[in-house]
Structure 1
């Protein structure tokens, strides 16, 4: 199936972004002829997505490394902008490693022999508030291992500096108290230094790290002969004359053909942080040169790599056997009973009883996936199989503001099509359009998304597709793009509140 966003132009070139969805804070590693990428997943579960490519342009989602967020009790309810921040993906000593900073708990790591797992349980390597953007390095020249991380001022009161540690090779122990190895306050014009990625190249320790803010900053490079410094710095990628704001943090990778490339993100509002691929070379002084002489490229020759079919992370889902695909994540750690196993196709969700049913931002049992492109249309079939007054289910665009269209059982026993929304400051939803009858208790729901994440809602309850309500402008959360979501809920009470079945989820 042709992806809704196609980065591979089919003539040996590609266009940016190579991943047009919210794969925030990407990091990448090469293992043989394969490339693997992970990204921030914040408070959603499963976390730490794992993407695979053979050419850095065409990507597929192969799984997640983190089944549940820890501490588990802290993520029983949605914490949309917390959790897993800016992971680093590495391969050393025959294992894959992922390190990340949770701004409220500290630096964690997990590892696995194979990228598809099983992955070890999260190990808290360094406890503390405001420890973010952690990256390890195994130095094959000396046998030593190191860690660098940044700071979140919101938790620690510290920002604009990078801290380095010596680390045991098993990644379980830090061997010193830590040293500030780069202090951005001492560099004229630099601020909000964060997102470090640590490398060894050509006899130097390298730190690639952005500064200047997510939407307005630049990508920096630092180098030193000694891990503890002193480091010299240079701006190696900036917006310049292009429309690529940021450009912000990412990872450097060298291909088997010996080419160097840099993957980074661009903040695009409700679409989240989309991923760009930049060619990378080295100047006569040994500094990296990214993009077109330090500015992002819009189109470029593809990396020299084996041919790969045009591909993008999956979006569509027929829910075979009642199971959902890898592209879906819950808005909090999942609990038993949110879905119902059955032998047919279609996702059967229990109408979970909750007092927060009228604010989707507070529900842990919303099943979500990223907005997959700038413009697209999403459709899904819904059948409400609940006799409980107030039971509801639907298709949502979920962010700091939200809007959804779906079915609700009324106090009179009738099922109606409803379309509701809530603004960022609102604590409860309200009607975006008058309810209308859905006598069969079924509907085909549709959302058309155009440039600027402007969403137009439609539904077919048996008498043909009809538009519903005004245009809704999707909004991000802090750090997180808007999401597509499926949910089923019911008012508080005892016993089962019935189910809702979603089928034939498609994005075109």
Structure 2
């Protein structure tokens, strides 16, 4: 039985994976989204589900009360040592943090600052056979002025403090053709220390591997995965894992723009000279290229699946598939468990939904999808609005808005700054306070909105080409807000369950 790439066709950036027994756990970047650090689980590397969000709020909590697009949680790592799971993640504006847990489903410890500094990114810890521990990380030029080098520093085994002096172990400026060397993951095998690290940039790069007999170097390296003749651009930055059956696999991302960084699974083999090759490769090749389909890992028998999207809102807590655009307050939403979600209306609307913390969202899937819900707005002050939004560097939404002339159903898109243009608008019949709304995304990321009050759907004539966010793909979200300066009331907007229909991968391939 074969699987088809990508195995996670949505924005799951910078994946890292650890196997413990027969279980695999993945963590990815979450940037400004909160709760952050989603933890995914799999039994076969092919099908994944979200089982937790390890970071309820980003530190410093006050700083991340507002959306800080492009900041927050960058590429993390997950490791298991002496019965404890550790997630190590960088915030390029504050430093490197660590969370720990006995169970990856939580609870996770509050984040502790291991290494303060600006521009420190992509950390990965390593425990050596002699009991000493190390941390390898990269650098973000946008913050530090440094880039294209990997730094190693000794830390205590509990990942609480530095005990050594940082040193550069691989300098990409000394390697022909290398630039933006980052994302290191460190391992040991057959007497060698191995550092897997991408180079060449998010959209156009490749995967390199380096090895040394001593952890401090000197390291020699080679490129082991490139785009080659495929359409999988920039295949790199991910995780090498070994299955219980002794098979070797590599999970990496591909940047798909508005759909974000999707995750591919590649076979990995070891050459007679001791070096790995990732993906499909000729017998004498030192580098492979991505596979689109491939036989599954041994023992994989369940249907290929991705995390759940729709939500009937019959629980009293938010499912871990959802996140906000900034650190949340507990009173932002209410889940009675009756099939509705109630979003509180707060007077914090400055006219630009990109600046609104209280957009409750999920990633826009990387294949055609249709998102449908309905919302009910009770009596409200003029300017109060709520709806379904596709949010990125630009955005568009469909929903309800209270006006002095009555309640309207509207569809608008951003135009830059704090301005929106109306794509469609219609006054609701007297006494009607509920509307069904729909957003359909095609294979290119073009959004077609529609609404229904009674009878047939009313499509919006103008479409909206969705846009990626800052280092992330676009989000699909729910929101409710009122103009800045209105009284702070206790009003809520009630959303019915969210239905998400996806076109399967086989149909997209046709």
TM-score strictly above 0.5: yes
- SS of equivalent to 1:314: coil
Asked if structure 2 preserves the Cα contact closer than 8 Å seen for 1:419 and 1:469, the reply is no
CA distance in 1, matches of 2:59, 2:95: 11
Residue of structure 2 in register with 1:118 after alignment: 107
Deviation at 1:388, TM superposition (A): 1.8
Q: State whether structure 2 residue 252 is matched by structure 1 residue 264.
A: yes
CA distance in 2, matches of 1:316, 1:276: 23
Q: State whether structure 2 residue 449 is matched by structure 1 residue 457.
A: yes
Deviation at 1:374, TM superposition (A): 1.8
Q: State how 1:37-116 maps to structure 2 within 5 Å.
A: 37-116=26-105
CA distance in 2, matches of 1:369, 1:355: 21
Residue of structure 1 in register with 2:399 after alignment: 406
Residue of structure 1 in register with 2:506 after alignment: none
Q: State how 1:201-350 maps to structure 2 within 5 Å.
A: 201-293=189-281, 294-321=288-315, 323-342=317-336, 344-350=338-344
Output one character per residue of 1:129-183: Cα deviation in whole Å (capped at 9) or x when no partner: 00000001112x2222110000001110000000001111101111112000000
Q: State how 1:415-454 maps to structure 2 within 5 Å.
A: 415-423=407-415, 425-437=416-428, 439=430, 440-454=432-446
Asked if structure 2 preserves the Cα contact closer than 8 Å seen for 1:323 and 1:347, the reply is no
Deviation at 1:438, TM superposition (A): 5.4
CA distance in 2, matches of 1:44, 1:495: 25
CA distance in 1, matches of 2:304, 2:289: 26
Asked if structure 2 preserves the Cα contact closer than 8 Å seen for 1:388 and 1:498, the reply is no
> Out of 354, 365, 381, which is 1:361 matched to?
354
Asked if structure 2 preserves the Cα contact closer than 8 Å seen for 1:54 and 1:305, the reply is no
What is the RMSD of the two structures over their aligned residues, measured on CA atoms? 1.3
Asked if structure 2 preserves the Cα contact closer than 8 Å seen for 1:416 and 1:438, the reply is no
CA distance in 2, matches of 1:503, 1:63: 24
Residue of structure 2 in register with 1:148 after alignment: 136
CA distance in 1, matches of 2:162, 2:299: 38
CA distance in 2, matches of 1:370, 1:159: 29
Asked if structure 2 preserves the Cα contact closer than 8 Å seen for 1:388 and 1:497, the reply is no
CA distance in 2, matches of 1:250, 1:96: 18
Residue of structure 2 in register with 1:19 after alignment: 8
Asked if structure 1 preserves the Cα contact closer than 8 Å seen for 2:148 and 2:172, the reply is yes
Q: State whether structure 2 residue 176 is matched by structure 1 residue 188.
A: yes
> Please, which moves more after superposition, 303-312 or 43-52?
303-312
Deviation at 1:437, TM superposition (A): 2.5
Q: Residues 343, 227 of structure 1: CA spacing in aligned structure 2 closer, same or farther, 3 A cutoff?
A: closer
> Please, which moves more after superposition, 21-30 or 432-441?
432-441
- SS of equivalent to 1:337: helix
Deviation at 1:446, TM superposition (A): 0.6
CA distance in 1, matches of 2:429, 2:113: 51
Output one character per residue of 1:62-108: Cα deviation in whole Å (capped at 9) or x when no partner: 11111110010110000121100000011111101100111000111
> Please, which moves more after superposition, 285-294 or 346-355?
346-355
- SS of equivalent to 2:463: strand
Deviation at 1:469, TM superposition (A): 3.7
Asked if structure 1 preserves the Cα contact closer than 8 Å seen for 2:313 and 2:337, the reply is no
Deviation at 1:248, TM superposition (A): 2.1
CA distance in 1, matches of 2:130, 2:298: 31
> Please, which moves more after superposition, 67-76 or 426-435?
426-435
Deviation at 1:343, TM superposition (A): 5.2
Asked if structure 2 preserves the Cα contact closer than 8 Å seen for 1:319 and 1:504, the reply is yes
Deviation at 1:307, TM superposition (A): 3.1
TM-score by length of 1: 0.95
Asked if structure 2 preserves the Cα contact closer than 8 Å seen for 1:190 and 1:212, the reply is yes
CA distance in 1, matches of 2:366, 2:308: 12
Q: Residues 438, 298 of structure 1: CA spacing in aligned structure 2 closer, same or farther, 3 A cutoff?
A: farther
CA distance in 2, matches of 1:148, 1:330: 30
Structure 1: 5+ residue runs without aligned partners? Answer: 1-11
Asked if structure 2 preserves the Cα contact closer than 8 Å seen for 1:90 and 1:96, the reply is yes
Deviation at 1:309, TM superposition (A): 4.6
Q: State whether structure 2 residue 386 is matched by structure 1 residue 397.
A: no
- SS of equivalent to 1:72: coil
Asked if structure 2 preserves the Cα contact closer than 8 Å seen for 1:244 and 1:296, the reply is yes
Deviation at 1:337, TM superposition (A): 2.2
Residue of structure 2 in register with 1:3 after alignment: none
Q: Residues 475, 68 of structure 1: CA spacing in aligned structure 2 closer, same or farther, 3 A cutoff?
A: same
